[in-house]
Structure 1
Amino acid sequence: MSTSYKVKFWGIRTNTRSDGTGKKPRVVSHTVRWTVGERERSSTFKTKGLAESFLSDLRQAARSGEAFDLESGLPASMVKAKDARTWYAFAVAYVHAWWPHAAAKTREGMTDTLANVTPVLTKDLPGRPADETIRRALREFSFLPEDRRPEPSPEIARAVRWLEAASLPLSALEEAKHTRAALEALALLLDGTAAATSTYRRKRAVFHHVLEYAVELEELSANPLHRVKLRKPKSTGEIDRRSVVNPAQARELLTAVTYVGRSRGPMLAAMFACMYFGGLRPAEAAGLRAKDCHLPTSGWGLLTLERTKPQSNKRFTDSGETHDDRGLKHRGRKVVREVPIPPELVATLRDHIDRFGAGPDGRLFRTRTGGLISGSAYAKVWKEARTYAFTPDQAASPLAARPYDLRHAAVSLWLNAGVHAPEAAERAGHGVDVMLKVYARCIDGQREVANQRILDALAA
């Protein structure tokens, strides 16, 4: 950018237009004139107040010693402000930059967070679409790579045009009021009720990363989140011990699963057993293949986990299907994890393979047509099985409310059985710090044992 400090200002020129013979000319605009170097510049405004304000800004920049750009005639600070991206444009660019490096669930969380924040970082321009329409425009169009965007409906196209015009500049986040407004949007659900602390913290982490990226690109001087405090109850991340089943309850549940439907339950029983006896995540169990299983006729077996089938909306997956084909969570694509499994699970898997076989791709757990089982489908089976296995009071409690709670129960059982944390963490696919923070909990039914040990000690 070529600049000059040689600046000269002229008075504001009033522009008039005659409306007819004998009538006083009507003022139509006001022009600010100045020179930078040897080049004359001008800018015209509808009202005198706007012209005076603009001229005042120019004079102030000159008095403070700013260089003026020869091309635009503006001081450096104004050129920077003029060229600055809006929050909307930056958010779109951020998503497109990070999309190739993120898993489908990460992409979904990223776009969900930005769709919460973007509507509040706007100016009050006329024609604002409904918030629901704005969020749909962001999630289903703007925050998708260009080759994945559908043809927008007229409603979505209008919302995108409004966002492009109304979005605040990214630099507006230097003001605490805008950053606070964004955080408050993340702290609420769409119905206006407070979001869970874990949800807020997860979304805040995404927002923090976006702003750190802006700092890295030197579009923000510092991360404005560091100056804004929004108090939310601290979340320890620990599991609710009321959700953790003991071995007897787990076996009752696994048996009850086989009572659900003619084939749905029996085909899923071994999948749930993998979550309890092997501590597998649902996506790991969904991707389990026959070749991953070493199932001897007696003794312990071994699962060598390599692939997972995480579920997300198909617009976020690489495959364009609802389930992606990925490596293990938090590990490189070719890294495997070996999980020893007890004889009880070995027998269950051998029986499952004898009865249902494996699909064309080798997967053990699938629908009757060979497809992947959706999360909603196996959750429905689980919900029904709980009514068979539990008393009404237990069924109404958090006890094993979700299939994922079987994994919680498995890891809690290992730790309470005396398995060293590094070994338990390796089997579960966690870091030791996460293991000790989240899973070191007593399983259901152990309180009475602990109470008796205390009584015995007191009586000694």
Structure 2
Amino acid sequence: MTAATGDEAFLLTERQCSAILDAVGERPQDGRVLRAFLATIALAALRPAEALALRVRDLELSDGGPNALLVRPQGRTGHRSGISEAEAVRSVPACSDLVAILKAEITRRGLGPDDALFTLDEGRPLTGETYRRVWKHARAAVLEAHGIDSPLGRNVSALRDACIAAWLRNGDQTAAHIAAVAECAGVSAPRLAERFSHCLRKPTPAEVPWDRLEAAFRLPTPRSEPMTTARRP
């Protein structure tokens, strides 16, 4: 994740995300694959390195059911923590818009199951240097002058942050909901709540269960026992 700002003013809006993706997609060279790559970050909250590592087989399609992306651990994280690679793989929901974008890219380039989802049109690997340069130009073309000079969307991971924030806002924000979002994002729930505290709704005084809190912290009533007088030997 990007460094915490504590202010949702530095989160890209849905309109800004869409405008930047459209600007990237209009590039005559590699525009479509770069747009698909960035859309995967924006719609599935993947880290850029996780999106780059995706292969066609990692797109799980279900007839009439939910679709998902299988995100595999990067580096040797799973081995260091004693968790197998299979156990460390996480399943991230893939919305219909993202599925349509990825399927179109697979068809356009005739990709097979073991092929990388995102490579440049000439077949060369998509690198961080390439997508960061394209992102910088698209951001400058979309944002207003005061936004360009601000931290707003400075890094590609801003798309991931915007997606996570939307997931948090569009739910009941219970502990179970926050835990589910954290699992999809691949972070711990406490870290997520700290980083995106400004996206969480604060309860009003009337919503706080004061009676249950009082009962939970109430000390037990001491038992009244008769005092015994010590006898001298």
How does the TM-score come out when normalised to structure 1? 0.38
- 2:193 equivalent in structure 1: 436
2:19 counterpart of 1:252: yes
Paired residues, what number? Answer: 193
- The aligned runs of 1:290-305 (5 Å cut-off) are 290-295=56-61, 300-305=66-71
SS of the counterpart of 1:358?
coil
Q: Could you say if the C-alpha distance between residues 298 and 436 of structure 1 is closer, same or farther in structure 2, counting changes exceeding 3 Å? A: same
What residue is the counterpart of 1:405 in the other structure? 158
* Residue identity opposite 2:53 in structure 1: G
- The structure with the largest alpha-carbon Rg is 1
Separation (CA, whole Å) in 1 of partners of 2:104 and 2:119? 16
2:85 — aligned with what?
Answer: 333
Note if contact 1:267-1:352 (Cα within 8 Å) is conserved in structure 2: yes
Residue 265 (structure 1) aligns with: 31
Letter of the 2:145 counterpart: P
1:344 is aligned, of 97, 103, 127, to 97
Partner of 1:314: none
Q: Is the contact between residue 238 and residue 439 of structure 1 (CA under 8 Å) also seen in structure 2?
A: no
- CA–CA separation in structure 2 for the residues paired with 1:249 and 1:378: 18
Q: Does 1:356 align with 2:109?
A: yes
Q: CA RMSD in A?
A: 3.0
Are the structure 2 counterparts of residues 359 and 397 from structure 1 closer, same or farther at C-alpha, using a change threshold of 3 Å? farther
CA contact (8 A) 1:289 1:358 kept: no
- Give the corresponding residue for 1:123: none
TM-aligned CA distance change 1:372 to 1:428, over 3 Å: same
- Match of 1:400, SS state, is coil
1:141-160 correspondence to structure 2 within 5 Å = none
1:423 to 180, 189, 210: 180
Contact 1:294 1:302 in 2 (8 A): yes
1:373 to 108, 126, 134: 126
- Displacement of 1:424 after TM fit? 0.3
1:384–1:371 distance in 2 versus 1, CA, 3 Å: same
Q: Cα deviations across residues 346-391 of structure 1 (Å, max 9, x unaligned)?
A: 1111112122343784210123443432212100000111133223
* Offset, 1:307: 4.8
Aligned to 1:386: 139
The separation in 1 between residues aligned to 2:168 and 2:47, in whole angstroms, is 18
Give the percent of matched residue pairs that are identical in Structure 1 and Structure 2. Answer: 32
Please, what TM-score do these two structures have when normalized by structure 2? 0.72
**C-alpha displacement of 1:405:** 0.8
Cα distance change, pair 439–389 in 1 and its aligned pair in 2 (3 A): same
Alpha-carbon offset, residue 288 of structure 1: 0.6
